[in-house]
Each structure stands twice: as C-alpha cells, then as structure tokens.
Amino acid sequence: MTAQILDGKATAAAIKDELKVRVAKLAEQGVVPGLGTILVGDDPGSHAYVAGKHRDCAAVGIASIQVELPATATQDEIAAEIKKLNEDPACTGFIVQLPLPKHVDTNTMLGLIDPDKDADGLHPVSLGKLVLGQDGPLPCTPKGCVELLRRYDVPIAGAHVVVVGRGVTAGRPMGLLFTRRSENATVTQCHTGTTDLAAVVRTADIVIAAAGSAGLITADMVKPGAVLLDVGTSRSAEGKIVGDIAPEAREAAAWIAPMPGGIGPMTRAMLLTNVVEAAETAPKRA
C-alpha cells in the first residue's frame, strides 16, 4: 500500500476558479482587491515565491503591487514602504515576504502593517484574534492544511495531530487552528527540544511536518494509515527542493500532501482567499 495523494496543486486551481467568481462579483460593486508584496533582498527562492503570488493574482483578477528593496535596506526604508501600502487605497491587503535580512527586526516590521490589510494573518492583532477565537485573517499555511484535508473529507475532529516545528508562519499557528472547536483535533507540538520525536510521531493520526529539515520524518515513525502533510521546504546540495518527509515514509500512510504540489500551492491559494475575504467584508466605499 502507498499513500493516496492530497493534490494541493489541483485543489488550489479549483479554489482559484471559485475566487475568480467572487472577484467578478466585487468588480460589479466597483471593488477591485489589490495585493501588495514587499520583498527585501535577492534570495532567489523568495523571488520565485513572490513571482508566483503575482501570477496567481493575475489569474484571479486581483490587482498586484510589487515593492522590491535591496538587501541593504534599513528598517526605516522598509517601514516607509509599509506605510505607503497602509495608505494606498488600491492595496487592500499586503505581505512582507519573510525572511527579512538579519539586520532587520521582523516582529517590529510585521507590527507596522495595518491589521486591516494583513493578508498573511501574521500581524500580532491577527494572531491575537486567532487565540481569542475572533474572526480575522488566518495564517495561510495552517489555513491551507485545514482546507486541503476538508476538501478530501479527511476527518480532523478527534484526530491526534502531531505538528513538527514552531516557526511563526506554519508550525506555531498550526496548533491554534487545529484545536479550534470547528476543527476539534488534539494537537501535540514538537520541535528541536522534543526528547523522542519518533515516539511522538508514531502516535499521530495526522503528521504535519513543518520543521524545514530535509527527510526528518522517516518510514519507521509513521503509524499505518496515518495522514502526512509535508510543509517543510529545503534545498539539497544539488539545488533540488526536498520536503521534511522521507519518500519511503509514504508507504504505510493513507494520504500524503507531497512537497512540491501539496501545501505550497494551498498556501498561495489561502493568501488570495484572505485578500478576497477582506475585500468582501470591508466597509462599502462611497
């Protein structure tokens, strides 16, 4: 037996088709959602992700605003670009692509975003709302994991979800989503300080590997019939992208969201969803 594929690429394409219809409805009311991106530095991976986000926007009918700064940009220069997008009426939501250069304080920058324009769900106000159970934009990667499982009717309620990783974009907010009443999973959060990772992962009904450590989850750690979501992205010495889940691990699993083609495309689709949802709920312009 080998795992069936949770096809994030195909699911994201279906979501984009649905968003196209919603964007057309907004256009009839004179509302054009616009996604801004602020990209600092010249990391080729980050450039590729951001380019993908703008392609997605074009496909769905969302306007896009691209801001690029050199790796040497100061905090003040980045803050000035954030302020511009906060004030630009054509920009209804935006993101600051992470990671930022080392001399920049990420949390300070994220905190400068107008929470009403937080497309990533990573502003402290948005994360606070998530903790409090209030409506707001949700972090795109966890939101994409829930959405992919739902669309394949993989049961979440009552499942033991083991999250590996505690990064701010994926691992940390993951447990907050999966333990909401609407998801009702039991979550164990693992990280580099976990004593016996293999033993914990072996108890999982759903493994969410978001550590960014190539091949960390091996076949011996997978309970037969488990569901595997590969969130981690690393590059091998040869420049090939590799996930956190070793290829053999899918043998015993029931389902796998592979990397590539799984959670990455879903993350992008959820960013678009956040932008459209914000435009739909924004107070009607005169």
Q: What angle do CA 173, 179, 180 make, to 5 degrees?
A: 95
User: Is-catalytic flag, 17?
Assistant: no
- Does the protein bind ligand GUE through residue 212 (CB under 6 A)? no
Active-site residue (options: 7, 56, 120, 230): 120
User: Is-catalytic flag, 143?
Assistant: no
- Cβ(151)–Cβ(197) under 8 Å? no
The 3-state DSSP class for residue 5 equals strand
- Does the protein bind ligand GUE through residue 97 (CB under 6 A)? yes
Strand pairing of 63-69 and 34-40?
A: parallel
List the one residue out of 141, 150, 139 whose CA is nearest residue 6.
150
- Does the protein bind ligand GUE through residue 147 (CB under 6 A)? no
Of 5, 59, 63, 98, the one binding ligand GUE by CB under 6 A: 98
Of 152, 261, 280, 282, the one binding ligand GUE by CB under 6 A: 261
List the one residue out of 247, 248, 254 whose CA is nearest residue 227.
254
In the complex, least distance from residue 170 CB atom to ligand GUE, rounded to whole angstroms: 8
Q: Report the residue number, 161 or 257, with the smaller CB distance to ligand GUE.
A: 257
**8 is known to lie in a ligand binding site:** no
In the complex, least distance from residue 155 CB atom to ligand GUE, rounded to whole angstroms: 24
Which H/E stretch holds residue 256? strand 255-257
Applying CB under 6 A, the span of 55-63, 182-190, 205-213, 255-263 interacting with ligand GUE comes to 255-263
